[in-house]
Amino acid sequence: MCRHLAHLGPPRTLAEVLLEPPHGLLRQSYAPADMRGGGTINADGFGAGWYPADSAEPARIRSARPLWADTSFAALAAATRSGAVLGAVRSATVGMPVVETAAAPFTDGRWLFSHNGVVRGWPGSLAGAAARLPVTDLLTLDAPTDSAILWALVRARLRTGEDPADVLADTCASVERDAPDSRLNLLLTDGATIWATAWRHALAVRTHDRDGGEATVASEPTHEFPDWTQVPDRYLVVARPGHHDLYPLTGP
């Protein structure tokens, strides 16, 4: 069921953030610890987005290969430094294609987005919600997957300038109404703040204010530090370097 991670703090290499931690995304790609709703490894692609210095808009790389098999990414990651990173490894849901464009993060303007989970009854359960999107958004969908439609729904509301916390909370509630029993761990950043939901799936957060402060939100803790907090089910976390808040989510 995919794993994802976002990190804010003093600039570090992508390798330090994603590949080198003892239980980082690289290890979670072949030995995840808490997959709950299915899947054993995350070998159906990966992606990483980061904010280059002096850029409000992220750069992004994606692949349909397993993270551990991509030596080019390892080289790039060792040489690329950023203070804001979002990475994901994918375990494709049955019936969804294994293609580069189905891998998170999805992006638009300053946003990076990932979904960890599954929308039950896809695609029919999301047909009503999708029909309310601009046709151009549907024609330019990244891939025929539940996650890509979720991103289109979220993106349409972010464009109107709504509070990202409200957008994610409302999206979980409305998708759950249309597709009960879905797993909707959504992860969003603009490079300065991380917003993430825990909706029937694992999520942890760690923040501290030493050395300029850091914030990490991840499907699974990346280190055995004692200061990780498990995000309770149906909670939203908002994290910035040095501080995070948890808010209960409501919905059917």
Coil vs helix vs strand at 94: coil
Decide: is 25 part of the binding site for ligand GLN (CB under 6 A): no
Residue 2 is a catalytic residue: yes
Q: Pick the stretch among 60-68, 91-99, 130-138, 231-239 that binds ligand GLN (CB under 6 A).
A: 91-99
Binding residues among 158-177 for ligand GLN as defined by CB under 6 A:
none
Which residues, other chains included, contact 61 with Cβ-Cβ below 8 Å and sequence gap of 6+? 47, 48, 49, 73, 76
CA distance 86 to 112: 7
CA terminus-to-terminus distance, the chain: 23
Please report how close the Cβ of residue 132 comes to ligand GLN at its closest, in angstroms.
21
Q: Which two tokens stand for residue 181?
A: 């029993």
Decide: is 91 part of the binding site for ligand GLN (CB under 6 A): yes
CA distance 106 to 104: 5
Among positions 13, 28, 80, 93, the unique one binding ligand GLN when judged by CB under 6 A: 93
Decide: is 107 part of the binding site for ligand GLN (CB under 6 A): no
Please report how close the Cβ of residue 184 comes to ligand GLN at its closest, in angstroms.
10
Half-sphere exposure of 113 (CA within 13 A, CB side): 25
Comparison of 15 and 43: residue with beta carbon closer to ligand GLN? 43
State residue 209 phi and psi, 5-degree precision. -110, 20
Binding residues among 111-130 for ligand GLN as defined by CB under 6 A:
115-118
Which chain residues interact with ligand GLN by CB under 6 A?
1-2, 39, 90-93, 96, 102, 115-118, 145-147
